[in-house]
Chain A
Amino acid sequence: NAGVTQTPKFQVLKTGQSMTLQCAQDMNHNSMYWYRQDPGMGLRLIYYSASEGTTDKGEVPNGYNVSRLNKREFSLRLESAAPSQTSVYFCASSGTTGGNWIDQPQHFGDGTRLSIL
């Protein structure tokens, strides 16, 4: 039972470099999400995809782009990394049975720990 798989688990970048975080889920979920988690703060939504073919901005989208490649995969790209983007990034997915996406439990990967020097 893989659930939500994120790669890589750790990454160190220099300021200005770019990279793509990968996420895949095997639960046939329609909705997928990218969050960042910083010390002392709640999870903050960067982007989400309510269904295949759609993406929407969350609370903190600046400096990021996303691609919903297919139903299983949702990637997050940092075009020009900045030290303020040092964080732990979580991908999550949820089904849409019986209500809106905000009513469904989200299933999380184990995160990517990203440091930008």
Chain B
Amino acid sequence: KNQVEQSPQSLIILEGKNCTLQCNYTVSPFSNLRWYKQDTGRGPVSLTIMTFSENTKSNGRYTATLDADTKQSSLHITASQLSDSASYICVVSAISNYQLIWGAGTKLIIKP
């Protein structure tokens, strides 16, 4: 069964610190993996997309990595800011049945 699991469920860090969020998936074959940011009370917003052939992609202070062999992705946030407080959701596109498999997200709280 195609699944996407994210860890940790929630994370609290101090402003200015770095953090890494994990995404493990069993989707195969897949065409791409995308990370979304969802602020409280808002809809998700796409942060970055990675195809199966890419290893690393950056978007400002956000860096996503992908290891297609181990079926793992991570989202690294550098020098966190209060505005980074949000849920971060990993989504994998399954080619076999044209589905998007959504993870449950990691809730990140940045404390001053």
Q: Does A34 contact B (CB under 8 A)?
A: no
Which of A40, A45, A92, A105 contacts B104 (CB under 8 A)?
A40
* Contact status B43-A103, CB under 8 Å: no
Residue pair B98, A43 in contact (C-beta under 8 Å): no
Write the chain A residue with the least CB distance to B95. A102
Q: Tell me how far the C-beta of B23 lies from the nearest C-beta in chain A, rounded to whole angstroms.
A: 11
Instruction: Check: A42 CB closer than 8 A to any chain B CB.
Output: yes
Taking a contact as CB atoms under 8 Å apart, the answer to whether B31 and A103 are in contact is: yes
Give the Cβ gap from A64 to chain B, nearest Cβ, in Å: 18
Q: Please determine whether A100 and B41 come into contact, CB atoms closer than 8 angstroms.
A: no
Grouping DSSP codes into helix (H, G, I), strand (E, B) and loop, the B interface class, with mixed when no group exceeds half, is strand
Assign chain A's interface to a size class: 20 to 34
Whether the Cβ atoms of B103 and A42 lie closer than 8 Å is yes
Q: Which B residues lie at the A interface, using CB under 8 A?
A: 4, 31-32, 34, 41-46, 49, 89, 93-94, 98-105
4 closest pairs, A vs B, by CB? Answer: A108-B43, A42-B102, A105-B46, A102-B93
User: Quick check: A110 and B42 within 8 Å, CB to CB?
Assistant: yes
Point out the residues of chain A lying under 8 angstroms from B103, CB to CB.
42
Given contacts A42-B103, A42-B105, A100-B98, contact A106 B42 (CB under 8 A): no
> Nearest A residue to B48 by beta-carbon distance?
A105
Q: B98 contacts A102, CB within 8 Å? A: yes
Contact of A106 among B31, B32, B46, B104 (CB under 8 A): B46
Contacting residues, chain B, for A42 (C-beta < 8 A): 4, 89, 101-105
Min Cβ gap B73→A in Å is 15
Please, which residues of chain A bring their CB within 8 A of the CB of B93?
A: 102-103
A4/B100 contact (C-beta < 8 A), A103-B93, A105-B49 known: no
* A100–B105 CA distance with the chains assembled, in angstroms: 24
